Amino acid sequence: MKQVSFSAMDGGTKADFDLLDRAEVEFVGQLPARLLAALEGLKSSFAGYQVSRYEHSLQSATRAQRDGRSEEYVAAALLHDIGDELAPYTHGEMVAAIMRPYIAPEICWIVEHHGVFQQFHYGEVTGDDPNARDVHRDHPSFDACAEFCALYDQNCFDPTFKSAPIETFVPTVERVFSVPRYLTAP
């Protein structure tokens, strides 16, 4: 494998940075596979539920797909919890940051904030504030996030639910994460 000639970026040549650009294109093209591998990692994650976090994710995506949601929405439903392994307290922010170049802003906002919106469904029982989401009450995506949690998150821990297999969603993830449609200039 070719490598750049520099040990500090300010010593790089045009050829060095062209080499890195080519390597980055290849690396970015492998993003769908890395996302699916992260999802696979949820098979043994966070014991205690009646289903694995992987199955939870399949249930979320299956429900969204059956309801006719967009491919971006289905992909987000499938991947919304992949950050649990590395960022248990901020996983929504982490995953939204990964999705931001590929998925519509409203859907990214939903993923980013779904954790606090989930509290509505259990907070009264656990002593957490079920209305913590109200700090976002004036946000235009408030209702969409509440709906996501009600329809595609809080109810996706059902051991009797028949999810579509992962093979159903692989082409969706590959399409959605193949072209960054929402890049903003730095």
76-88 pLDDT tens trace: 999 999 999 899 9
- Domain with residue 87: its CATH number is 1.10.3210.10
Q: What is the mean pLDDT of residues 12-32?
A: 95
Does residue 145 lie in a domain region?
A: yes
Dist. CA 118–CA 24, nearest whole Å: 36
Does residue 22 lie in a domain region?
A: yes
Does residue 170 lie in a domain region?
A: yes
Domain that holds residue 24: 14-176
The number of CA neighbours under 13 Å toward the Cβ of 46 is 20
Q: Which residue has the tokens 């248990």?
A: 88
Does residue 147 lie in a domain region?
A: yes
User: Could you tell me the pTM of the whole model?
Assistant: 0.94
Q: What is the mean pLDDT of residues 45-69?
A: 94
- Structurally, the chain folds into a number of domains equal to 1
Does residue 23 lie in a domain region?
A: yes
Does residue 39 lie in a domain region?
A: yes
Residue 186 pLDDT > 60, yes or no? no
Residue 4: Cβ-neighbour burial (10 angstroms; 0-12, 13-18, 19+): middle
Nearest to 169 by CA among 79, 84, 97, 106: 79
Whole-angstrom Cα Rg for the chain:
19
In whole numbers, what is the pLDDT of the chain averaged over residues? 96
Q: Return the pLDDT at 183.
A: 86
Dist. CA 43–CA 54, nearest whole Å: 5
**pLDDT per residue as tens digits for the range 147-174:** 999 999 999 999 999 999 999 999 999 9
Does residue 160 lie in a domain region?
A: yes
